[in-house]
Amino acid sequence: MNITRRTILSSAAAGLASAMLAPRMAWAATEITLGDMRITTLSDGYLTQPADFMFAPMPQDELAAFLAERGMEREAPLLPECNLTLVRHEDRVILFDAGSGPGFMDSVGDLTNALAAVGVDPGDVTHVVFTHGHADHLWGVLDDFDDLVFANARHMMGREEHAFWADPATVDTIGEDRVPMAVGALRRLDALGDAMEVFADGEEILPGIAARASFGHTPGHMSFELRAGNAGVMVVGDAILNDHVAFAHPDWHFGADGDRALAAQSRAGLLDQLAHEQMTMIGFHLPNGGIGRVERQGEGFVFVPA
pLDDT at 20: 35
**111 pLDDT above the threshold of 70:** yes
pLDDT confidence band for 252 (50 / 70 / 90)? very high
CA 110 to chain CA centroid, Å, is: 14
Element (H, E) at 202: none
Q: How far is Cα 242 from Cα 56, in angstroms, rounded to an integer?
A: 15
| 3-state secondary structure (DSSP) of residue 1 | coil
| One-character DSSP codes across 87-149 | EEETTEEEEE-----TTS-TTB--HHHHHHHTT--GGG--EEE-S--SHHHHGGGB-TTS-BS
pLDDT at 1: 62
- The pairing of strands 196-199 and 154-158 is parallel
Side-chain-facing half-sphere of 63: CA atoms under 13 Å: 19
Q: Are 237 and 132 in contact (CB under 8 A)?
A: yes
pLDDT confidence band for 146 (50 / 70 / 90)? very high
User: 251 to each of 80, 189, 269, how far by Cα in Å?
Assistant: 20, 33, 10
pLDDT at 305: 93
Q: How far is Cα 237 from Cα 245, in angstroms, rounded to an integer?
A: 16
pLDDT-above-70 percentage for the chain: 91
**97 pLDDT above the threshold of 50:** yes
Nearest by Cα to 79 from 293, 285, 296, 297:
285
pLDDT confidence band for 264 (50 / 70 / 90)? very high
**128 pLDDT above the threshold of 70:** yes
**125 pLDDT above the threshold of 60:** yes
User: 220 to each of 112, 226, 284, how far by Cα in Å?
Assistant: 27, 19, 17
Return the CA Rg of the chain. 18
Q: Are 46 and 108 in contact (CB under 8 A)?
A: yes
Domains and their CATH numbers in the chain = 2-305 (3.60.15.10)
**183 pLDDT above the threshold of 50:** yes
Mean residue pLDDT of the chain comes to 92
User: Mind listing the pLDDT tens digit for each residue in 196-251?
Assistant: 999 999 999 999 999 999 999 999 999 999 999 999 999 999 999 999 999 999 99
More confident position, 262 or 24: 262
User: Mind listing the pLDDT tens digit for each residue in 4-38?
Assistant: 555 554 433 333 333 333 344 455 568 899 999 99
Residue 297 φ then ψ, to 5°: -145, 110
User: Mind listing the pLDDT tens digit for each residue in 48-89?
Assistant: 999 999 999 999 999 999 999 999 999 999 999 999 999 999
Burial class (CB in 10 A: 0-12, 13-18, 19+), 88: middle
Q: How far is Cα 101 from Cα 70, in angstroms, rounded to an integer?
A: 33
Residue 278 φ then ψ, to 5°: 50, 45
pLDDT at 151: 97
Q: How far is Cα 266 from Cα 258, in angstroms, rounded to an integer?
A: 13
| 3-state secondary structure (DSSP) of residue 16 | coil
User: 62 to each of 55, 71, 262, 302, how far by Cα in Å?
Assistant: 11, 14, 22, 17
User: Mind listing the pLDDT tens digit for each residue in 169-182?
Assistant: 999 999 899 999 99
